[in-house]
Amino acid sequence: MSIFKHKLTQGWRWYGPTDPVSLQDVKQAGATAIVTALHHIPHGEVWPLADIQERKSIIEAAGLTWDVVESVPVHEAIKTRAHDAQKYLDNYNAALKNLAKCGIKTVCYNFMPVLDWTRTQLDLTMTDGSKALYFNWTDLAIFDLYVLKREAAELDYPANILAKAKAKFEQLSANEIDALRINVLMGIPNEKEIELEALQNSITLYQNIGEKGLKENLTWFLAGIADTCTQNDIKMTIHPDDPPYPILGLPRIASTKEDLVAILESVNQPFNGICYCTGSLGAGVNNNPLEIFEAVKERVYFLHLRNVTKDEEGNFYEADHLGGDVNMYEIMKAVTAENAKRATPILFRPDHGHQMLDDLNKETNPGYSAIGRLRGLAELRGLEIGVTGNY
């Protein structure tokens, strides 16, 4: 008899009514739970109760449930502890309370300065003809040195990367340089992209804050929402840095096992949890994703399962969900063993996916086309059954 009393909850990230992937598509893919956010609400504003209820009603009318919010963005004023940070903290608490009134109590967020996940190419062609997201240090250096023109940027790259960046930049066309700029500055779908000037200003600000100051500001934020979360049974899950390295002169504080353990200990209460992302953590050359999970598993409330393949320079592309450097078999064994201890199943979603088949001819959100994620979900569901024997 299997010790596994229930399966992981199968989720799907959906970008709302304008997402090219419909809720009907999601149902056909086999997911039951939706992970979404109100991207039309500007960062820092209170999420109105009516807007939350409307989105929830749309999802439930399709026969699905809204289980996780990804994300309620943390305003830059909080990350930098600006003079008006308390106003944005109050707004965040108000948004959390409104979500709780609607029964939505798992919230994903990140504390990456300015940028969300960063890639240098959105359409790397795989050997099978599908397309994947890609991060390349030489291309990032080109952006940093010759597009952003950050002061003293050359100090952050080894000599071989600087040489390759210079040689490649001299061969790029104006259109290729502009495409690189767009890729690096790309925002979340349905949200405004970052501008170069704003990025420059933020880099200057974060140079003064540094890694230590950013950690202190995260602790201030978590302490400031602790009562709201505890009273409303909300679980906050911080997403690891993506990629898990300082980039463009911006500090990172959620990139390693030590980082995540320190975050949990900084405000050591049950609400303060982790979104365990195998892709983000797997991109770290010195990270052991399985070891990281074992260190923080009791506070993992949300799972992003995807894979990456790295090279000796730390460049990486997003591989098939069961391919790449992350041993997804061992991860699934550990995750399902932890899930067996829970009264409520942990929700996972197949994070990102290759653009493939009919989606190659469609406009899709980078990383979030339908068929690549459908394949990933199917593979992960099969792996779970194979590991647990729980049909």
pLDDT number for residue 5: 63
pLDDT number for residue 188: 66
Based on its alpha-carbon atoms, the radius of gyration of the chain, rounded to whole angstroms, reads 20
DSSP string, 60-116: HHTT-EEEEEE--PPPHHHHTT-TTHHHHHHHHHHHHHHHHHTT--EEEE---SS--
Give burial (CB, 10 Å; 0-12/13-18/19+) of 197: exposed
Would residue 227 show up in a list of annotated catalytic residues for this protein?
no
pLDDT number for residue 390: 83
Averaged pLDDT, 335-347: 96
Would residue 83 show up in a list of annotated catalytic residues for this protein?
no
Given the residues 39, 321, 352, 354, select the one marked as catalytic.
Answer: 352
Given the residues 75, 239, 321, 354, select the one marked as catalytic.
Answer: 239
pLDDT number for residue 3: 55
pLDDT number for residue 192: 66
139-167: b or e for each residue (b if 16 or more CB lie within 10 Å)?
A: bbbbbbbbbbebeebeebbeeebbebbee
The pLDDT > 90 percentage for the chain reads 93
Would residue 368 show up in a list of annotated catalytic residues for this protein?
yes
Give burial (CB, 10 Å; 0-12/13-18/19+) of 84: exposed
Given the residues 39, 75, 304, 321, select the one marked as catalytic.
Answer: 304
Q: What is the pLDDT of residues 19-30, one digit of tens each?
A: 999 999 999 999
DSSP state of 215: H
Which long-range CB contacts under 8 A does 51-58 form with residues at least 24 apart?
A: 52/98, 52/99, 52/102, 52/104, 53/102, 55/16, 56/102, 56/104, 58/17, 58/23
pTM: 0.96
In which band, very low, low, confident or very high, does the pLDDT at 1 lie, cut at 50, 70 and 90?
Answer: very low
Q: Looking at the DSSP assignment, which residues form a beta bridge with residue 276?
A: 303
pLDDT number for residue 4: 56
Given the residues 242, 277, 317, 354, select the one marked as catalytic.
Answer: 277
Would residue 352 show up in a list of annotated catalytic residues for this protein?
yes
pLDDT number for residue 355: 98
Q: What is the pLDDT of residues 356-369, one digit of tens each?
A: 999 999 999 999 99
Q: What is the pLDDT of residues 176-213, one digit of tens each?
A: 999 999 999 986 666 667 788 889 999 999 999 999 99
Q: What is the pLDDT of residues 45-56, one digit of tens each?
A: 999 999 999 999
Given the residues 139, 156, 242, 351, select the one marked as catalytic.
Answer: 351
Contact predicate 304/8, CB 8 Å: no
Whether 250 shows a pLDDT value over 90: the answer reads yes
Beta strands in 189-339 (DSSP E): 235-238, 272-277, 300-305, 307-310, 316-319
Domains in the chain (CATH in brackets) are 9-119+210-388 (3.20.20.150)
In which band, very low, low, confident or very high, does the pLDDT at 6 lie, cut at 50, 70 and 90?
Answer: confident
Whether 371 shows a pLDDT value over 50: the answer reads yes
Whether 318 shows a pLDDT value over 80: the answer reads yes
Averaged pLDDT, 279-293: 97
pLDDT number for residue 189: 65
